[in-house]
Amino acid sequence: METIFAPWRGEYINGIGNHAKNPDNPQECVFCSAIKATDDFERYIIYRGINAFVILNLYPYNNGHMLIIPYNHVSDLSQLNTETHHEMMDLIVKAQKVLQDVYHPHGMNIGANIGTAAGAGIDQHLHFHILPRWTADVNFMTTIGQTRVIPEKLDETWKKIRASWQKID
Ligand SMILES: [Zn+2]
């Protein structure tokens, strides 16, 4: 399935301009690279915790698609300590509240793909996905054309989610 970004829709609605993207070191794990970055907006980091952080997925399935990621570059849950497990679950709960606040979805998908056989795009560094779902989000384009349309730019998504994250307990 292909994804088409339609940022002009978001621009039309919100009047927000473009923002320069990060120049990634292609040799480094993208998540480890994001951890070291100093500009949260540039890397779309929503929140930095003690053992884990929250970031927007650069290739969202839907608007608001977030990743919850441990700082440790490990490939599965058994390599993390209990404190990190608990913090990641707390962050997932917080992310659920924030998505509800910002997007009012009908449902959500929460989960992790462990290993490429399970569908992990980046299998070396564990990450949980959380994304909002709507009853009608398998839309015309998906059904007919095997194509999804993401109407909101990541810049705009980051601003909305970051604001909600700081507001909600
Ligand atoms: Zn990493």
Q: CATH number of the domain that 159 lies in?
A: 3.30.428.10
d(C-alpha 115, C-alpha 94), whole Å: 26
For residue 127, indicate whether it is catalytic. Answer: yes
* Each residue's pLDDT tens digit, 46-100: 999 999 999 999 988 889 999 999 999 999 999 999 999 999 999 999 999 999 9
CA atoms within 13 A on the CB side of 78: 1
Using left for φ > 0, alpha for ψ between -120 and 50, and beta otherwise, residue 119 falls in: left
**17, pLDDT greater than 60:** no
**137, pLDDT greater than 60:** yes
Q: To the nearest whole number, what is the mean pLDDT of the chain?
A: 84
d(C-alpha 113, C-alpha 129), whole Å: 9
Q: How many domains does the chain have?
A: 1
Q: From the centroid of its chain, how far is CA 58?
A: 7
Determine the structural domain holding residue 52 and report its residue range: 41-119+131-137+155-167
d(C-alpha 44, C-alpha 65), whole Å: 11
Q: How confident is the model at residue 18 (pLDDT cuts 50, 70, 90)?
A: very low
Give me ligand 1 centre to Cα 24, in Å. 13
Give me ligand 1 centre to Cα 26, in Å. 12
Evaluate whether residue 110 is within a structural domain. yes
- If you average pLDDT over residues 30-56, what whole number do you get? 96
